[in-house]
Amino acid sequence: MALSAVSRYVAAQQAHGPAYPTDLRPDLVLRYEPACSDATWWLVEAKTSTTGKTRSVLMRRALHDLFAYRWAYDTKLQGQDTWGLGIVWGTGLAAGKHDARVCTPDLLPAVTAALMP
């Protein structure tokens, strides 16, 4: 089942009457479905800047969007240790231990290795 089928954001719009509600869309959605357990979803949001935004500003923007997705798709993400990954332009930002993690591309291999069983 697609995430959009359980979107609280779409449901809220429909309750208020728009003819064509739109959904929140992460930059990338990954679904891992092992044979012996339930599917795991990862929502990925990437942020970059052409106007010189600092890494911390980009990190906050990624987290803002990730938590909006968390609210919208809560029914699919409940019970997951990690569900969100933000990737921000720059170097040297290691992901903290949180259910929504943010890092720079140079440290992405360590984060993805920790996410995959």
For the chain, helix, strand, coil in percent to 5 are 40, 20, 45
What is the pLDDT averaged over residues 41-68? Answer: 93
* pLDDT over 70 at 20, yes or no: yes
Domain interval for residue 90: 3-115
pLDDT level of residue 108 (50, 70, 90 thresholds): very high
Q: How many domains does the chain have?
A: 1
- For residue 1, the model assigns a pLDDT of 63
Which residue, 42, 51, 31, 113, is CA-closest to 81? 42
| Mean predicted lDDT score pLDDT of the chain | 89
Task: Give the separation between CA 107 and CA 58, rounded to whole angstroms.
Answer: 16
